[in-house]
Amino acid sequence: MATETGARLGLEYRDTNGFGAAQGGRGYYLPVDLAVRSDGRIYVLSRGDAIQGGNGIKITDIDHNWFEEISSRGIAPGQFISATAIAFDASDRLFMADEALHRITIFDADHNYESHWGTEGSGEGEFDGPSGIAFDRDGNLLVVDDKNQRIQRYTPDGKYLNSFGSAGDGNGEFSFPWGVTVAPDGVIYIADWRNDRIQRFTHEGKFIDACGTTGHGQGQFNRPANVAVDDDGNIFVADWGNQRVQAFDKDWNFQTSIRGAGELSKWAAEYIDANADEKEARSTFDPYPELDVNDPHEVSARTEPYFWDPVSIALYDDTRILILETGRHRFQVYEKV
Amino acid sequence: MTTAARSGTDIELIAHLLRRAGFGATWEELQAAGDLGYQGTLDLLFNPGDPESMPSDIIRRYHPDQSITQIAPSSGSVWMYRMSTTKTPFEEKIALFWHRIFATGQTKLIQGKVMLTQIEMFRQFGLGSFRDLLVQLSQNPAMILWLDNQDNHKDNINENYGREILELFAMGVGNYSEQDIKECSRAFTGWTIANMPYMSIRMRNNTLRPYGYVAWQYKFDPEDHDEGEKTFLGETGNFNGDDIIDIICKNPATARFIARHLYHHFIADELPVPQWPFEGPKDPGAIELMVDAYFADNYSIGAMLRAVFESEMFKSEATQYARIKSPVELVVGTLRLAGGFDWPTADIFKATAACGFMGQALLAPVSVEGWMGGDDWISTGSMVQRINFASATVGDPTKKGIKSIINQISDRHPRGLVTPKALVDECLELVGSLRVEDDTKEGIVTYAREQGDIDPRTDDGVDKIVSVLQLIVSTREYQLV
């Protein structure tokens, strides 16, 4: 597992999209997930907080166009308290998971609230903190049922089908799993968060293999949050606690690791241009100051270009990957090379 | 099954120690400490193991706002989790002590990340040499921007930090001259942060844009450091900040000043600090005890406190319950009594906010002088907040700690019925060996008599136990430590 090979996949920084928008409007605040719709529009789940706000699903595209935002904080239908994940079905309906309300909310392709389902509990059809969601190859929804340590499968209208997994650190067991991804070949990838590994399962939920041990070396993880897989089977892991993204080939051979290289986005540059005092002060800004700390979280807190809490990854037209950072309210765009 | 419980003077003394060096102990914690004895418990305080507090990854995942700690409720709550769940509360008490003395506020600094880094520094250095602590403090980015040392330049000094390190942090008024302040300030020129102009203006503009706050990094700028000769407290040389701190630390006034702060925080309420230049300490003997320890052990704060905790003065009746709990002591102590937190919850914000309502907002001291403490903690409004918070917290029988008290009472009375006096006595013991005045106790017993004998195995019995606990945490004595 996680061995090195000759010809490696590379990732080159291309762009940054985002802006800290705690009071709402263009930008994100504490975003936790993103998803790309069939027309290329990018939906960012801005979880926000209970005090400042910034809560909603914000819609942009790869060229920094800003469209609108939907949903907001609350318990009414269509709202959320602690949203964790979003995913589109084949009809571009948008599904959203909420770990506080223990429910899945559905918006139609025009963003109208359609329905929601789910209740708190540990029985069939119940959740204790739904965290990640993804559609399987049959169009059914996989829900990572975080604190119940299992993956549940539902029809899109909320009918329980089956589940797999239980608490533990053995094969097919989980410790507070977070993100789920279904690869183009139908294989299910689970970010087994507190076991510091990624597990793979067949479409039916049978354990295939796992990659990762606790640590900060190549192929090691510190609380991985999410996974993306491209058409060639290359695997991209949001290594949340190590504040980096690691890439592997389909056999888990390590390819590359990136720490982030964020620059001023279009929106950020417009803000700086409009504020003369900050623009002048930023002209001498060294984004990579010499630091006296090693802890990745602390290093990211002090280094603006670096990923800070990289939480989600999405493929964009299979040539680029979008890496969402909760701490910096943005996503960085990397291209496969 | 009845549990053989430790009680008596030893347990009361240990309870006293753990109220002062921590946030109070539960009955179970007191029983374990009783096995070690007073000295063994004291040794453990100074050699703590893993805090085993709520893991930071858990907090950060389920409270993303507490990962980046942009706003004070978030950063304050990170600390609240630590205080209410740690197995090593002495570390937190020390951090809280220095937070009161080196009062730094997120209200000005805007970002919480640097505040929490400062608190972590207090944990690491708070019991060590005062010299090392002052060096760390002087290089701490939160302190640098709090007292404007980024604007302290070799050609144009800013005296803010130079003044406060002498007046508020180390020596106290009357032990230095205005010229000493200028010379001290000159020595700290060039002690700044990386990217100072941009970081400084973003703080001034209070903006998280474009990508949230960038936590600050200490930087020494030799180009902006005054290399000239300085005369400070009678000594002359090309002093840097470290040299100034050496001179400060060897001055007896420093030892006395810190000793008086320690007395105020760990022994008994003192006069407000502004009165210290005019009124001597309450207990000069206690101050001398700590001063001797300070000089005997390389300016060690830990040695000063150990000398106190081992003294008969500290163990005396007069010292017990001689301080008014600070709001944080009250909130954290009550949370811990009720069992703390097992998992992230929105209740943490309520606890953090409660401290503010009572007059001690974490990471947001009222001024550079910190909180005065003592009688200042108590007002009509703050008393209502104190009683409401404590009563609501212990009023939930589903909380782990309260459930444990109920079970303990139930175990002690296998046949069910508990008399009013026995119920009150046991509740006072089970909240951490709380001693109350006779008339206070009589009042609670009178209330309990009105309820009649209770059966702790019934819902009605549980309700009555809980109501007695609520009365106990509403007493005058529960406000004291």
Q: What number of C-beta contacts closer than 8 Å exist between A and B?
A: 108
Q: What is the pLDDT of residue B5?
A: 59
B124 and chain A: CB distance < 8 Å anywhere? no
For residue B293, pLDDT beyond 70: yes
**Quick one: DSSP state of residue B393?**
H
Beta-carbon contacts of B45 under 8 Å, excluding residues fewer than 6 positions away, are: B17, B21, B22, B90, B309
Model confidence, pTM: 0.96
Q: Which residues of B touch A32 (CB under 8 A)?
A: 64
Nearest beta carbon to residue A282 from set B67, B198, B346: B198
Interface test with A, best of B135, B201, B211 (most A CBs within 10 A): B211
Between helix B27-46 and helix B9-21 the angle, nearest 10°, is: 60
Q: What is the pLDDT of residue B2?
A: 37
Beta-carbon contacts of B62 under 8 Å, excluding residues fewer than 6 positions away, are: A82, A99, B343, B344
In angstroms, rounded to a whole number, what is the distance separating the alpha carbons of residues A162 and A159?
Answer: 10
| Strand order across the A141-145 sheet | A130-135, A141-145, A150-154, A160-164
Tokens read off for B463: 């309700």
Strands A173-174 and A166-167: parallel
In chain A, the percentage of residues whose pLDDT exceeds 90 is 95
- Opening angle at CA B63, ends B203 and A19, nearest 5: 45
B122-157: pLDDT as tens digits: 999 999 999 999 999 999 999 999 999 999 999 999
The answer to whether A248 and A219 are in contact (CB under 8 A) is: yes
Residue type, A297: H
Helix (H, G, I), strand (E, B) or coil at A75: coil
Q: What is the pLDDT of residue B141?
A: 98
pLDDT averaged over every residue in chain A:
96
Peptide bond into B420 cis (omega under 30): no
Put simply, the answer to whether A277 touches B207 (Cβ < 8 Å) is no
B200 and chain A: CB distance < 8 Å anywhere? yes
Distances (CA, A) of B470 to B165, B455, B464, B467, B474: 43, 18, 10, 5, 6
Q: What is the pLDDT of residue B1?
A: 35
A127-159: pLDDT as tens digits: 999 999 999 999 999 999 999 999 999 999 999
Nearest beta carbon to residue A309 from set B67, B113, B214: B67
Q: Which residues of A touch B200 (CB under 8 A)?
A: 281
φ and ψ at residue B251, rounded to 5 degrees: -80, 130
Q: What is the pLDDT of residue B453?
A: 87
Quick count: other Cβ atoms within 10 Å of Cβ A289?
A: 18
Interface test with B, best of A19, A49, A131 (most B CBs within 10 A): A49
Residue type, A196: D
Helix (H, G, I), strand (E, B) or coil at B480: strand
In angstroms, rounded to a whole number, what is the distance separating the alpha carbons of residues B188 and B167?
Answer: 16
Nearest beta carbon to residue A30 from set B64, B219, B349: B64
pLDDT averaged over every residue in chain B:
96
For residue B390, pLDDT beyond 50: yes
A57-115: pLDDT as tens digits: 999 999 999 999 999 999 999 999 999 999 999 999 999 999 999 999 999 999 999 99
Nearest Cα neighbor of B320 from B436, B431, B440 is B436
Q: Measured between CA atoms, how close is A6 to chain B, in angstroms? A: 35
In angstroms, rounded to a whole number, what is the distance separating the alpha carbons of residues B158 and B226?
Answer: 13
The answer to whether A33 and A324 are in contact (CB under 8 A) is: yes
Confidence of residue B415 (pLDDT cuts 50, 70, 90): confident
For residue B169, pLDDT beyond 90: yes
Confidence of residue A1 (pLDDT cuts 50, 70, 90): very low
Q: What is the per-residue DSSP string for A185-222?
A: TS-EEEEEGGGTEEEEE-TTS-EEEEE--BSSSTT-BS
Beta-carbon contacts of B195 under 8 Å, excluding residues fewer than 6 positions away, are: A284, A285, A286, A289, B214, B217
In angstroms, rounded to a whole number, what is the distance separating the alpha carbons of residues B156 and B144?
Answer: 16
Which residue has 């989600």 as its token pair?
A: A312
Q: Which residues of A touch B64 (CB under 8 A)?
A: 30, 32, 47, 49, 309, 326
Tokens read off for B372: 């005065």
Q: What sign results for the dihedral spanned by CA atoms B343, B347, B350, B355? A: negative
In angstroms, rounded to a whole number, what is the distance separating the alpha carbons of residues B89 and B216?
Answer: 28
Q: Which residues of B touch A306 (CB under 8 A)?
A: none
Q: What is the pLDDT of residue A23?
A: 86
